[in-house]
Structure formats: structure tokens, C-alpha cells
Structure 1
Amino acid sequence: MATGELGSRSAEKLFSLSGLFAVYKPKGRTSAAVLNLLKERLLAEAGVQVKDNKRKRQALKIGHGGTLDSAATGVLDQVTKSDLENVLQKFTGDIMQVPPLYSALKKDGERLSTLMKRGEAVEAKPARPVRVYSLSLQQFQPPLFTLDVECGGGFYVRSLVSDIGKELSTCASIQELTRTKHGPFTLEEHALHEDRWTIDEIARSLEHCMSLFPGEQSHKKFKTELPAETAVSREDK
């Protein structure tokens, strides 16, 4: 079989794929960087050469269901395990939360994080209702602690940790964060690591992941189903 023919068939298969699948995002990369790398890998495997970055984005459309920070640091001082466990109860259920200034939320069409990087003054967005289904302390080794959070859409873990610190009359921020579940997708069972980012692997993953949705659902429904309020995160703070 000629190389060109193989590339053509791979490209045909790649551009026929449609649906939802899960990938693993390693620490140190932004969500956007992971998507760009995945797109480059797939286009290269399919033999599709697109030099212009704008056209490359248009050639293969891939999006994500929720941004994860590339990295963070954390600190907590003079707090007992009992103090922390008691405070967590205040952040369970339906609560009001102010989104962090450094976020993907927009002002005048630009992300707040972009404005912050340019040194522009940014005002906090108003507090909004969010839901925390469960919040538990997993480990406590001062100055670090580990939480397990099951939350709804629009929830910011960074705001949660900051608010916990303020409630304890100190400060706290995230050192590590791992999303262990998003909708029906779990980290252990569904997330494709980088060594499996191939057209065939993604095709198999799509078939498996799409079977998790009951009945015949349209792509419009997928958009509302995926951010359903079952995003579980495990963090070390």
C-alpha cells in the first residue's frame, strides 16, 4: 500500500470521528496546550499538513469540557484537623461563590486571566450559586491537606480553597488538583494518556464513551449532559 493511500484513509477516518472521549491532562500543561498537542498528533498521523495555526484550528475541531489549571502552590498554617473538618461543613450543599479573578470568565470579550497578565485592573464577578454534593478531608499533614470534592457546574476549586483559608483566619491555595470524574467519564477507566493519542485509540474510546449515554441523544443534548453536576476532583492544598 502506498504511503499516500494510507494517509488518505487515515485522514478519512479521522475526519469521520464525532462525539465525546476522555484524555489525561498531565501537570504543567494548560488545557489548551493539551488540545493543541492532541490535534497536532492526529493531523500528523493522518498525513494532513496545515502550516497556518488558524487553519489548523479550523481543520480539526476539538474542545474540552472544563479548564484545569496548569499548576498552583499552597500553604496553610496554625490549623488543627478538627478546625478544618468543622469548616468544611459550611461549604457543602448550595452555597454562594465568588469566581476567582484569574479565570476564563470574560470582560468586554477578553478573559479575566488575560487582563490580569497585562496588569489591568479587574473587578471580581458577583457571587453566584453553586452546588457541592460532598466535601471531605482525606489527608491532613500540615501545612498540606487533601480534599475530595464532588461539585456541580460553574464551581471553582480555587475559590473554595481560598474561602476555606479565610474562614480559618489564614490563607490557602491549591498545590495539586486532579479531576477524577467528569460526567460519566472517570480518570481510571476512560482518560486516554498521551501514549494512546492515535486515531484508532480515539475511535475505540469514542465508541466506548458514547455508549455511556442512554438512548439516542443528539449532539445538542451532549452539550448539556456533559457538564452535569457530577464533576469530582481530588486536590492537595
Structure 2
Amino acid sequence: MAPPGSSSLSRLQSLHGIFAVYKKQGPTSADVLNALKEALLKEAGVQNPNPRKRKKQSLKMGHGALDSAASGVLVVGIGNGTKMLSRMLTGSKVYEAVGELGKATDTLDATGKVVLERDYEHVTSLDLEDKLKTFTGDIMQVPPLYSALKQDGQRLSVLLKKGHQVEPKPARRVTVSRLRLTEFKPPLFTLDIECGGGFYVRTLVDDLGKAVSSCAHVKQLVRTQQGQFTLQHHALQEQQWTLQDVLRSLQPCSQGAPGAPPEPPEDV
């Protein structure tokens, strides 16, 4: 007789595809994946699962990238679906970003130290809307120093926190398909952004603050869509991290699905 839960575990291990979960603000994407794996393995009857152990992994899963300070859609790959994640990284994403005028931080978001304060009373919604036009389409953008990009094999953000000097990365071409101001209540403003891979919302908000002769940082960031997965209709909440809900949400792939080599994770 098969041990209890063995059929659930076999079914879980036979899955190949991608789906989306909701990541709340605070934990890293890796933290969320580990919690998800632990929930699924426990349901399948694995006693005291340790999702961080790499040896003899009983469940192959991977994740996309989303800043710990951000919330929203996080795409997860299971089985050979992990090979599809690099394609998702370069695909379309939609964000709702709340920026705060008058304060710049070292991380370009609310987790960092304030390094500059400037007046913002002169800034109007028309000023912001006018400047947004220059950040739409194919543009050149310099990645932030606090990012997952690497120097000497280590993330820039890790090196900076250790007190090391880091070299700014060169500007690179990114694509912004849609950029709209949806709310303006100084010093706060809200942006609706659709962009491609490698784009940093934090850099956009920092650049936008400078463009209106002030400064700004990201106060709140929510990813509302990545590829075909939307926050409203597809992202599984924590109480839905079950085999049944994953099966319902899974976009399957063939076991032999080709995949490009993984790209470095991107921050937002």
C-alpha cells in the first residue's frame, strides 16, 4: 500500500508550467517561493519539509523577480516551467507606483535613507504629465546602485550594505509602452506603468523628480500584471497555495519545453 499523501506528491512532481502568486510587501521573492513549496509539500504529506535544502529536492520550482519592498504578481515556474521564467523576465509588466516628491533616498524607494530634500510646491500635475512624455517609448535608463545587478559576482545592493564601493552600470535601452499620471495629491503622485524587461520604476521616479526641478522616491509599488497573469484574476493568495488551486491556475508546458539560459534577476 502506498504511504499517505504519496499520490498527491507524485501529482505535484508531475506538474510542468507557470502560475502566479501574490507577494506581499516585505519578504523577498525567494522567501515567498520557500513558503509556497513548504505549503505544497506539507499538503502532499512530506513531513517537516525544508524547501531551502537543494540536495535531493523533491519539488523543482523557481520564481521571477520582484523587490522585497514591492507587492503584487510574482510568477512561479514548476518542473520544466522553470525554463519559461527567463522569457517572463523580458516580457511585459504593469505597475502602479506611488511616488513622493521632495525627498530622495539612497535606494530610490522608502526603504532607504533620505539623502536630499527639495521644494516641490511649484510642481503641478501638468508639469508631471508633460515630463512623462520624455520617458515613454524606447529610452535609455541607468540602473540604480541598489539593485540585483552584480559586480565581481555579488549583487550591488549587498556590496553597498557591506560598505564597499560600486561602479554605476552604464545606461541601457528599455521600453515603456504606457505611462500615465492617475492621481496627484502633493507630495504624492500615482503612475500607471507598462514596461518591458530590465526597466526600473525606482529610477523612473527619481529621474522624474529631477525633471520637475525637485526630487522624488518610490513610496509604494504594486505589480498588477506580468505577461498574461493579472493581480485581480490570477495571483494566488496565501490561503490558495494548495495543489487544487495550482492545478486550476497552471499554464502548462511540454516536458521538453526549450528554455533560454536564465537572465540576471531584475529589480523594480
- Summarize the alignment of residues 21-170 of structure 1 with structure 2, pairs less than 5 Å apart: 21-49=19-47, 50-51=49-50, 53-55=52-54, 58-70=57-69, 75-76=100-101, 77-78=120-121, 79-170=123-214
**SS of residue paired to 1:177:** strand
Question: Given the alignment, which residue of 11, 14, 26 partners 1:13?
Answer: 11
Aligned counterparts of 1:132 and 1:174: Cα–Cα separation in 2: 17
Deviation at 1:74, TM superposition (A): 5.0
1:139–1:163: structure 2 CA closer, same or farther, 3 Å change rule?
A: same
Structure 1, unmatched stretches of 5+, are 228-232
Aligned counterparts of 2:176 and 2:188: Cα–Cα separation in 1: 22
1:73–1:84: structure 2 CA closer, same or farther, 3 Å change rule?
A: closer
Match of 1:176 in 2: 220
1:129–1:52: structure 2 CA closer, same or farther, 3 Å change rule?
A: closer
Match of 1:230 in 2: none
- Cα pair 2:184 2:190 within 8 Å, conserved: yes
- Cα pair 2:37 2:51 within 8 Å, conserved: no
1:58–1:99: structure 2 CA closer, same or farther, 3 Å change rule?
A: farther
4+ runs deviating over 6 angstroms: none
**Greater RCO, CA 8 A, separation 6+:** 2
Q: Which has the higher helix share?
A: 1
Aligned counterparts of 1:58 and 1:6: Cα–Cα separation in 2: 19
Aligned counterparts of 1:153 and 1:195: Cα–Cα separation in 2: 30
- What is the count of residue pairs matched by the alignment? 217
Q: Which has the higher strand share?
A: 2
Structure 2, unmatched stretches of 5+, are 71-96, 102-119
- Cα pair 1:97 1:130 within 8 Å, conserved: yes
Match of 2:247 in 1: 203
Percent sequence identity is 57
- Per-residue CA shift, 1:40-69, capped at 9, x if unaligned? 111221222445833379432322223233
- Cα pair 1:19 1:219 within 8 Å, conserved: no
Aligned counterparts of 2:51 and 2:221: Cα–Cα separation in 1: 34
What letter corresponds to residue 12 of structure 1 in structure 2? S
RMSD of the alignment, in Å? 2.7
Aligned counterparts of 1:88 and 1:125: Cα–Cα separation in 2: 23
1:94–1:167: structure 2 CA closer, same or farther, 3 Å change rule?
A: same
The normalised TM-score by structure 2 is: 0.73
The normalised TM-score by structure 1 is: 0.82
- Cα pair 2:29 2:66 within 8 Å, conserved: yes
